[in-house]
Structure 1
Amino acid sequence: MRLTRFVEFGRKIVCLGKNYGKHAIEMGGKVPEVPLIFLKPATAYVTEGNPIKVPVGCGQLHHEVELGVIIGRKGSNISESEAMDYVGGYAVTLDMTARDWQSLAKKEGNPWSLAKGFDTSCPVGSFIPKEAIGDPNSLQLWCKVNGDMKQNASTSDMVFKIPQIISYISKYFTLETGDLILTGTPEGVGPVSPGDTIEAGLGDLSKVSFQIQANE
């Protein structure tokens, strides 16, 4: 199945910010009235067996576990009622964030591109077929650092559900086969350092592990 290789050919990674209420609060903000969208380049992908590299000059790298939605066919102006027909599968993902850079960008009103889009900022697990998940809006989402649980929540806590997300994005960006949507992270984000091990998963369904490495 071609979609199992989405990392190799997917053209864009579309991400949601502040899509869990408690995370929005822990970041000192409020829940947005419409989805907060930003992008990562496809070069941000990193797969298991390869390290997450701290970008040069970053002083505070944070983990953010997320449910990834992989688009199965091309579409634009997709209605919410038809949105799930465009889902090809899922993956456990991490939105690695250079938090010190993002905080400065927010303060100065600048884009988040470097803070969110550096190489290895989008670790991903294996492709999960759509049929393997009965209700993607009711999944345990968890993240451990060196064996300690840091994030543990349910996708049922998402402010905007998957049909809403797909419909909204497709009004502005044509979604293409292999594109990845990151649906936001729950509360509990925090720092990691070179030598740390991150584990993240969707309940017992899928798990991924990465080592943090200095970018030399």
Structure 2
Amino acid sequence: PAFDQARLAAALNKVSHESYQAGNLPFDRFELSEDGRRLDFQIEDTRWSCDLASYDCTSTTFDARKGDPRELSHRYTPPAENNPDKSNASPDGKWIAYIKNCNVFLRSEDGLQDVPLSRDGAEGNCYVFSTLSWSPDSRHLAAYLVRPGYRREVPYLNSSTDQLEREYSTIFYPRPGDVLPLPQPVLFDIAVRRQIVIDDALFSNVFELSPLRWWADSRGFTFEYN
């Protein structure tokens, strides 16, 4: 097994004050680090990271309504960003990737070269900065090109008896027929500045895509779709 379920349940119960059972852990997806020493997973609006040697677990809470900025789903589409100062450096330090005018650009480390990698990005179909993912050998870059969907929101009023003022908020409430975000993974060959569109026949009507993750040997990358 990838990890000791009994030890993990005990570790989670210790820090979360819950009563999780080894045979019924409250998550169905997890990520194991390359060296097999760390386990990452999510329980509701909390991300957990556990050291598999000591089974010490730490947590980070996030806004579940927005989700993981690297992950694309029907609930959340990261906003279009066109900020050249917000960049993602290659592992070898030779190139810096950024988004400008909804397209992916490369800038050399010395600043002498500044070239576009893509030309198909537009205001209604933009590359998402938070999804930029370099291969470990720095020879390729992957990213999601996203066409935003329609975000239907319903007003929500909380007038609980234990508070003095009413709280107003909104909840995301998609209905049948609403246009959902349409993400498309795209691969770039850095040496020849070539864009490679990935066949989406298997996920043309996707509900959710996980973050892009490269293999350690840089031969490929993976993502999960639903």
For the criterion TM > 0.5, the same-fold answer is no
What is the TM-score of this pair, normalised by structure 1?
Answer: 0.22
User: Greater share of helix residues, 1 or 2?
Assistant: 1
Report the structure number with the largest CA radius of gyration: 2
What is the TM-score of this pair, normalised by structure 2?
Answer: 0.21
Which of the pair has the greater relative contact order for Cα pairs under 8 Å at 6+ separation?
A: 1
